[in-house]
Chain A
Amino acid sequence: MRSPTFRNRSITVLIVALLVLALAAPALALVSESGYKYCNGYIPYSRAYSTGTTEHFPPGSGYGIYYNGSSWKVTTQWSSSGDGFWFVQTNGSLNDPGTYAVCSQYPY
């Protein structure tokens, strides 16, 4: 037989969990694109065409976060060293052809 205190705590935890989930739901709806880009000594960058809070991890190193709000914006994030895996995500919308990583013509 469970005590009233245990039941009260359970109810409280349940309500808190449901409310937190309800409040956090929009923030969990993330969309992303990623890939690998090897540039043989040339500086790469990632680019996104998106709305919402957009985060860039360009190939190699570096980080940028862009608060686009409701507007569609092109954002570009240069790598500061290296190449390889890149990742872009937003809690808004992400345009597929407008989101990619590129090797520039500039050598490191």
Chain B
Amino acid sequence: MLKLLRKREETRTAVHAIAVLTLIAVGSLAACGTDADPETAPDSPLTRWEADMERYLLAQAACLEEAGWVVQVDLAGRSLEIPDLPRDQQSVFADVKAGCDLELGEPPPPPSPDEAFIRDFYDQLVASKQCLEEAGYPVSDPPSFDAFRESWTSGPWSPYLDLAGTDWEDAIDACPQPG
């Protein structure tokens, strides 16, 4: 009888732990979603991810600023910079960022790149090549779409690889990088 009670208690504890973790996971996923407004609701997984990422980036910047760091946010580039982070402060910063990551959770997961995504990305890069050349930056010619797709996992062609760092800001302003 005592064994049976213990077994029940163990099972109850295990179920309780799973339930709590499930609630946390569901809560995290819900937090990644959007407040449903039918008029402004994003209509594709990519646009939904972009909107979620924007919220995440702003929350992350706020968390780091609250800890005293001067943060620059670029929503279009989906990036966050601390330009003056000194070498000897990197480990302190890493600890603060780890705290913010714990508080905010993982960034929203992006949609998986399917055939249509890769095709669309290729077309945008070909358009970028034309834009960059018209802006005065010579870049390499694109491969065929098949060759581009085959090199997807290791790193496909991009005209932005041909840009020198000294041209970078001006070129990106003139022809924003897709993705």
Contacts and interface: CB of A to CB of B under 8 A. Distances in A.
Nearest to A24: B106
Given A23-B25, A66-B77, 8 more contacts: A7-B6, A15-B18, A61-B87, A62-B82, A62-B85, A63-B85, A65-B81, A71-B178
Given A61-B87, A63-B81, A72 B163 contact: no
13 contacts: A49-B161, A61-B86, A62-B84, A63-B85, A65-B80, A69-B111, A74-B158, A77-B81, A82-B87, A93-B154, A97-B155, A98-B155, A104-B165
Q: Which of B57, B107, B155 has the most CB of A within 10 A?
A: B155
A30 interface: no
A70 B49 CA distance: 11
Given A11-B10, A82-B87, A98-B155, A72 B166 contact: no
B79 A61 contact: no
B9 A57 contact: no
Nearest to A56: B81
Range for the number of chain A residues in contact with chain B? 35 or more
Nearest to B163: A74
Interface string B111-140: 111000100010000000000000000000
B104 interface: no
A16 interface: yes
Interface string B76-105: 011111111111001001000000000000
Contacts of B25: 23
A69 B111 CA distance: 8
A4 B78 contact: no
A1 B33 CA distance: 49
A36 to B, nearest CB: 12
B30 interface: no
Nearest to A92: B110
Nearest to B2: A4
A76 interface: yes
Given A49-B155, A70-B111, A15 B85 contact: no
A34 interface: no
B13 A19 contact: no
Contacts of A70: 110-113, 117, 179
Given A69-B53, A69-B110, A76 B168 contact: yes
